[in-house]
Chains A and B, each alone.
Chain A
């Protein structure tokens, strides 16, 4: 019963937050925060972003990655991107992005935007 109640409370608390994930806001945030180093369709200081959601880490053609990202060995999904944007150096020590996004809601919206670019 207690567990059920807790779940109900969590559902009520989480529900609106999850529903609020906003890819349009994520696009605006991407334009502000990521565009210094990334483009959608070309490698710049950072690798190209179109399709990064669902792509194997460290595999944008023609980009020279750190060993840490090149050997990460996973596919970028919500969980991985969330950890990466919260603290890339903590998530993949030796990586060289050095740029993090402090606000969890901002991270969620940016990830939703990246996902939308992959047709998700």
Chain B
């Protein structure tokens, strides 16, 4: 069994510690120059709107992991993983901001962490399990949101980016579910359903 699903002492929850480069994140959206060159239109404006909603999700996720990390509820073993997931969300954020700009849009700003904490009812979190459950719910919601907006993009390259973002959120969900000791969904096609 690979260490990634070893729930024993060595734990699945080990971050790789690799530094995250936002330049690499921007390259994720390598089609964006071409997209920017395309004619401006309402379909592009609506793509930008969807990307901005996605950016809002990423801002919120970054805050949520900051709140989790600062809650004092997360163990030493789990903390690096929370930080790594937050790093992924920062890469998503940077990639989305770059794309929105290239499409001539205005990226939405992040809300203060304190506002996010209220919106997510963070004061109800009493244990590491509570924190992991919240993260698990939000990651599933984000994966499903990214899957759900795919048909709305007029640019298929952006739809593909949305699928890639959904996959990252799924990756997070799997690790969180594993940490919580949940079994896998019994049926296939669990996400997006």
Interaction A to B? yes
Select which of B46, B144, B152, B193 is within 8 A of A36 by beta carbon: B144
Contacting residues, chain A, for B137 (C-beta < 8 A): 31, 35
Q: Is A35 within 8 A of B141, CB to CB?
A: yes
Q: A39-B120, A44-B60, A100-B148 are in contact. Are A32 and B53 (CB under 8 A)?
A: no
CA distance A11 to B138 in the complex (A): 41
**For the complex, is A74 an interface residue (Cβ under 8 Å from B)?**
no
**For the complex, is A89 an interface residue (Cβ under 8 Å from B)?**
yes
**For the complex, is A80 an interface residue (Cβ under 8 Å from B)?**
no
Q: Is A98 within 8 A of B121, CB to CB?
A: no
Contacting residues, chain A, for B121 (C-beta < 8 A): 39, 41-42
How many pairs of residues, A versus B, come closer than 8 Å at their CB atoms? 71
Shortest A90–chain B CB gap in Å is 10
Q: Flag A28-53 by CB within 8 Å of B: 1 or 0 each.
A: 00011111110101111110000000
Shortest B105–chain A CB gap in Å is 11
Q: Which of B115-166 contact A (CB under 8 A)?
A: 118-121, 137-138, 140-146, 148-149, 151-152
Q: A45-B57, A98-B152 are in contact. Are A35 and B138 (CB under 8 A)?
A: yes
CA distance A12 to B182 in the complex (A): 42
CA distance A43 to B119 in the complex (A): 7
**For the complex, is B44 an interface residue (Cβ under 8 Å from A)?**
no
Contacting residues, chain A, for B146 (C-beta < 8 A): 36
Q: Is B49 within 8 A of A45, CB to CB?
A: no
Q: Which of A86-116 contact B (CB under 8 A)?
A: 89, 96-101
Q: Is B138 within 8 A of A36, CB to CB?
A: yes
Shortest A78–chain B CB gap in Å is 21
Taking CB as reference atom, which chain B residue is nearest A88?
B152
CA distance A41 to B120 in the complex (A): 9
Shortest B41–chain A CB gap in Å is 13
Q: A32-B144, A44-B119 are in contact. Are A98 and B57 (CB under 8 A)?
A: no
Q: Is A32 within 8 A of B141, CB to CB?
A: yes
Taking CB as reference atom, which chain A residue is nearest B151?
A100
Q: Is A98 within 8 A of B50, CB to CB?
A: yes
Contacting residues, chain A, for B140 (C-beta < 8 A): 32, 35-36
Chain A interface residues (CB < 8 Å from chain B): 31-37, 39, 41-46, 66, 89, 96-101
Chain B interface residues (CB < 8 Å from chain A): 46, 49-50, 52-53, 56-57, 60, 118-121, 137-138, 140-146, 148-149, 151-152, 193
- Could you list some 7 contacts between A and B, CB below 8 A? A32-B140, A37-B57, A42-B118, A45-B56, A96-B49, A100-B148, A100-B151
| Closest A-B pairs by Cβ, 5 of them | A36-B145, A36-B141, A98-B50, A42-B119, A35-B141
